[in-house]
Structure 1
Amino acid sequence: MLDAAVKALTQILSPPMRSILWRSIALALVLITVLAIGLQRLLSWLATSGEGWAEAMLGPNFQTPLNVLSWIVSVAAGFGVVFGAVFLMPAITSLVASFFVDDVAEHVELEYYPAERPGVALPLGVAMTEGVKTALLTILVYLIALPFVFFAGVGFLAFFIATAWLLGREYFELAAMRFRPPAEAKAMRKDNAAVIFTAGLFIAAFVSIPIVNLATPLFGMAFMVHMHKRLSGPRPELIEPGRKTSVPII
């Protein structure tokens, strides 16, 4: 697993990947700006008009918890675009990855697995559907965890764990679906849930680093291409006589 992470880090800075890197960064910056501004506007509305609407719907008995929630939302809105950019980065990378999944995977397969059958490019609609689903689920989970940010860092831990699970899940399935039907790719992910979650921790750590995290789609995809190859094992026709077929993951 460490070897796969090092290979992914090394390759995203290689000349063949630079064009993809700059395009993914440009797309990520546009999406971050648009969505962060939208989030700031939404939080501002929730802190003002939203509180009155919720109290009218729930009744006066909910006034105190609504006031507390309104205060939390007001603080969040005060961070504005900066808060939104940090908060939305994992969701943004999910969307961006759906556009460049095959470009990245093809470079990894060509450099490290030239003797093996190359993967089949995913239809853009399938890749985007997976990216949108992961992005929406990420935002939902983060919104649930948001109130706990103010309690001894519990929310940040929840963010990190959720990011590891969500991004590890998406990038692995995208890598696997180049070689398997979607249902089989998802089943393989479930069968190797612990390993893939552990690999997702690497991606969660990467996406937590400001500026560097703009390259998350390339790192995450390249990393999971290697992980899928390791979990799949070597193809029988490529195994040398007398060589063991077990493949170390760590």
Structure 2
Amino acid sequence: MLDAAAAAAGQIFTPPFRNVLWKTLGLTLALLALVWIGLEKLIVASLSLPYPWLTTILSLVSGAGLFIGLAFLVTPVSFLVAGFFFDELAEHVESEIDPNGVGRALPFKDATRVAVEFSAVALIVNLIALLLLLVPGVNAIAFFGANAYLFGRGYFELAALRYAPPAEVRRLRKTNELRLFVAGLIMAGMLAIPLINLLTPLFGTAFMVRIARSILQRNGYRLA
């Protein structure tokens, strides 16, 4: 697994990935910016106090809070971005591993459905983790544990569906839950690193394609 992680990290800045890098970063930053602007306007509108100086102070405080809160939105945004670019990136990864073992791209509506479903679940889970921010000893465990599960499950399904039908993908996911959780934990670790966390869709794709191929091959799938 560590070899797969190292190979995925090394692939992020290769020419095929660089072509997608700016698009994924642009889309990720645009989505986070829209969330920031919307929430900030909502907060400012609710702070219609008679003292402008107090409104300014509370606005600055809420802005700092939003900055912290956006870290909890990287996971759902990552799933949305993955829905747009996963197959393009996965094909590059598969071609590098084995040119004869490239999977089939998911129909756009199916890839979007999977990404949106996991994005919605990730949003709810991370909002709960955000509420636990002030609970010592629980917040970090809840945040990384929940996101490890989501990353492991979500990215595995996107990768494995390129080779296997949904029912089989679900079966393989359930029989490899621990391995996928550990893989997801590696991905979740990126969330703690500012700016690096924006590369999660790229790393997650390159990493999980390798993990999914390994699981599929151990279960009798011939990918070549």
What is the TM-score with the length of structure 1 in the denominator?
0.77
Identity of paired residues, percent?
44
Indicate if the aligned counterparts of 1:172 and 1:228 stay in contact, CA closer than 8 A: yes
2:77 is matched with which residue?
A: 92
Alignment partner of 1:79 out of 64, 69, 72: 64
Deviations 1:17-70 (A, max 9, x none): 10111110010010011123334455677x879xxxxxxxxxxxxxxxxxxxxx
- Rg bigger for which structure? 1
1:200 is matched with which residue?
A: 184
Q: Could you list the runs of 5+ residues in structure 2 that have no partner in the other structure?
A: 49-58
Q: Which aligned pairs between 1:1-250 and structure 2 lie closer than 5 A?
A: 1-41=1-41, 77-116=62-101, 118-233=102-217
Indicate if the aligned counterparts of 1:39 and 1:84 stay in contact, CA closer than 8 A: no
User: Which runs of 4 or more aligned residues in structure 1 lie more than 6 Å from their structure 2 counterparts after TM superposition?
Assistant: 234-239
Counterpart Cα distance in 2 of 1:130 and 1:205: 23
- Which segment is superposed worse, 101-110 or 139-148? 139-148
Alignment length (residue pairs): 213
**Deviation at 1:84?**
3.6
Indicate if the aligned counterparts of 2:149 and 2:184 stay in contact, CA closer than 8 A: yes
Distance 1:12 1:238, change over 3 A: closer
Counterpart Cα distance in 2 of 1:142 and 1:230: 29
SS of aligned partner of 1:132: helix
**Deviation at 1:110?**
0.6
Letter in 1 for 2:25: I
Q: Could you list the runs of 5+ residues in structure 1 that have no partner in the other structure?
A: 50-73, 240-250
